[in-house]
Structure 1
Amino acid sequence: MEILRVFNNNVVLARPAQGDEVVLTGRGLGFQARPGQAVDESKVVRVFAPVDGRDVDHLGQLVAAVPPEHVKLAVVALESAGLSEVADSSPSLVVTLSDHLSFAIKRVRENIRLDYPLETEVGHLFPTELKQAQQVLAAVNEASDVRLPDSEAVAIALHLVNVGFTTGDLSYTYKLTGILQQLLEVVGQTYGRNLDNSFISVARFITHLRYLFVRIQSGKQLAGEASAVGEAIRTSQPEAYRCAERVAALLELRLDTTVTPDETAYLALHIARVVSDPRT
């Protein structure tokens, strides 16, 4: 395999002798490596192959932003829960779950508590995914040096649910690509910034938007009425919330839908995160 791009010391983009571009991970795989060189395949731990025409560079950026041990933790936990096939067929699940676990572990270490307001809804609508998520969480806690709270199963369940909603309709993917760019322009113009897709905060925002598209397509947005959490976000992040309302209005126009107040609130939370990151 030939190296096409080096994301960091442990993650590279490569082209196999046959087949499409893939993201490779492994300790020291990218150290002092250059595009055009051959991959040291003895160092390869995992191969991420994008599916349904998804952006392999975006996938690589997300993988590179997560510590390798947390990627491994996510893979081991999914395997322990009997979800190896799901993980293999959806590399984005492994990446987004790894990123979520990494952030959750950091919060626990810093004694920051985050409550999820959807536990009742998730348990009612997606009991199978919630049970699987509880198994994943148990495996994570067994393998990690910190203990994540039981409420994290709700967030993990939503990652599993999103995998089930994803379709292989590339025409929809192409349409959403254009909308994504338009939404980034709206946020950038609001704050007078150029949002660079190479920054991980922007990449995470794009991932959130993609999941929002999936929820809109499936008719399963977050709670239809404004929740206490949503109201708290509106109060604490007023400028980001106003920007989120503009983003929601554009989504409603482009996708012929109605964006719920809670979805708007969580958009505001992600927008605030993007613009507060000094790298953007």
Structure 2
Amino acid sequence: MRIEKIINNNIVSALDIDGKEIIVIGRGIGFGARPGKEIAEDKVSKVYHLDNQKSMDQFKELLVNLPLEHLQVSTEIINYAKSVLNRSLNQNIYITLTDHINFAIHRFKQKIDFSNPLLSEIKTFYKEEYLIGEYAIALIERKVGVKLPVDEAGSIALHIVNAELNSAMRDTIGITNLIRDVVKLVKEHFSRELNETSLNYQQFISHLRFLSQRIVAREPSNYLDEGFSHAISKMYPYEYECSFKIRDYILETYHYQLVDEEIACLAIHIKRLGV
């Protein structure tokens, strides 16, 4: 690997064997270096490959004045998330999460506190990701010496969800709000709380995550079995009535029309909640 550009004393850009730009980090790797110089392998601690040049340019811009330990702790959190979730994450998380953590640490040092209005929903709807967020704030305290508030566990979790869904943050927030409102509708329809620790509740939330993602992305349904919907409406009339309320809410709020089969699937999940 040969240096293409010095970003700072610890970070340089280079070209891989295919001629694609990469970001290389290592303590002191850019100090006194110059473009064209060969990079010693024993100085390299991490190499970043991003999907496109736009993302690469954004990453380089972020890294210019970024403390190395902020990048390292963010990378460790991302690696941990990948191993725990066993799912692919959009590569842009290296930009978005690193930038968020850097800003959160800066805010903390300036004694500026921001609450997370979606913290309760994140804890409930994204349990795995929230636990990763808790791991993250503990790691940041250990590595950087800054104890971020618990709200930041929720914010970090939302960045991870965003990378899982491969969507814009505003869409991820929209999905979270949609799930919250649908759950509220179910509670109000049956005038009772739901058992949030049950497997059926988690399956319901998982179904709502995929449904909400499709709604926000304006993706059409692929359900085709009309007889299925008719049968479910006869078997579970009260749950089907609740699903119709959800349909009306989604149509009014998101201007998205659920087909009969989607309404029937919601009724089945609601029935399994045992309300």
- For the criterion TM > 0.5, the same-fold answer is yes
Q: Distance in 2 between matches of 1:81 and 1:57?
A: 24
Q: What is residue 56 of structure 1 aligned with on the other side?
A: 56
Q: In structure 1, how many angstroms separate the alpha carbons of the residues matched to 2:86 and 2:96?
A: 13
1:79-105 alpha-carbon deviations (Å, 9 max, x no partner): 556748879965432343232222222
Deviations 1:201-256 (A, max 9, x none): xxxxxxxxx544xx27x9627689xxxxxxxxxxxxxxxxxxxxxxxxxxxxxx99
Matches within 5 A, 1:1-280: 1-18=1-18, 20-51=20-51, 55-79=55-79, 83=83, 90-166=90-166, 210-212=168-170, 215=171, 220=175
What amino acid maps onto 1:140 in structure 2? Answer: I
Check conservation: 2:88, 2:164, Cα contact below 8 A: no
By how many angstroms is 1:152 displaced? 0.5
The question of whether the paired residues in 2 share the 8 Å contact of 1:10 and 1:64 is answered with no
Shift of 1:11: 1.6
User: Within 2, Cα distance between the matches of 1:120 and 1:147?
Assistant: 20
Q: Alignment partner of 1:51: what SS?
A: coil
Q: Distance in 1 between matches of 2:8 and 2:96?
A: 18
Would you say the 8 A contact 1:87–1:93 is kept in 2? no
Question: 2:175 is paired with a residue of what secondary structure?
Answer: coil
Query: How far apart are residue 127 of structure 1 and its match?
Result: 2.2
Structure-2 separation of matches of 1:3 and 1:99 = 24
Who is 2:270 aligned against? none
Counterpart-to-counterpart distance in 2, 1:165 and 1:102: 23
Unaligned runs of 5+ in 1: 168-209, 225-254, 261-280
User: In the TM superposition, what is the alpha-carbon distance from 1:74 to its structure 2 partner?
Assistant: 2.1
- Specify the alignment match of 1:188 in structure 2: none
- Aligned-residue CA RMSD in angstroms? 3.7
Q: TM (normalized to structure 1)?
A: 0.55
Given the superposition, is the C-alpha separation of residues 115 and 130 from structure 1 closer, same or farther in structure 2, using an over 3 Å criterion?
A: same
Does the C-alpha gap of structure 1 residues 51 and 94 become closer, same or farther in structure 2, counting only changes over 3 Å? same
Shift of 1:148: 0.9
Aligned to 1:55, the other structure's residue is in SS state: helix
Q: 1:97 to 1:55 in 2, by over 3 A?
A: closer
**1:101–1:87 CA distance, 2 compared to 1 (3 A):** farther
Paired residue total: 185
Relative distance call for 1:106 and 1:114 in structure 2 (3 A) is same
Identity score, percent:
30
Alpha-carbon separation, structure 1, partners of 2:162 and 2:75:
17
Bigger Rg, structure 1 or 2: 2
- For 2:105 and 2:87, the matched residues in 1 are separated by 21
Deviations 1:236-279 (A, max 9, x none): xxxxxxxxxxxxxxxxxxx99xxx9xxxxxxxxxxxxxxxxxxx
Distance change in 2, residues 1:57/1:39 (3 Å)? farther
Contact 1:13–1:57 (CA under 8 A) maintained in structure 2: no
